[in-house]
Amino acid sequence: MGMNKNTVLAYATWIMIFVGLGMIALGAFKYDEVAGYGFAAVGIGFFAVAWVFNALKGRV
């Protein structure tokens, strides 16, 4: 299976989106204390990095 750099960035983008959704879900449903805000903030950070990975496709 030959993977070029765009395929790797696409997989990395999807993985970051799923991990970000998981972190936000942990913050929303599991932790009711201040830790929930931290988990949600990290999940949003994962979305930001996934957005950058998506923007880099075709440019690197």
Segment 4-57, tens digit of pLDDT: 888 888 899 999 999 999 999 999 999 888 889 999 999 999 999 999 988 988
Read off φ and ψ for residue 49, nearest 5 degrees: -65, -40
For residue 51, the model assigns a pLDDT of 93
Predicted pLDDT at 23: 94
Task: Give the pair of three-digit tokens for residue 25.
Answer: 């879900």
pTM of the model: 0.82
Query: Residue 28: which residues within 8 A CB-CB, separation 6 or more?
Result: 36, 40
Instruction: Find where tokens 């932790």 sit.
Output: 31
- Of 4, 42, 1, the closest CA to residue 24 belongs to 42
Phi and psi angles of residue 58, each rounded to the nearest 5 degrees, phi first: 85, -10
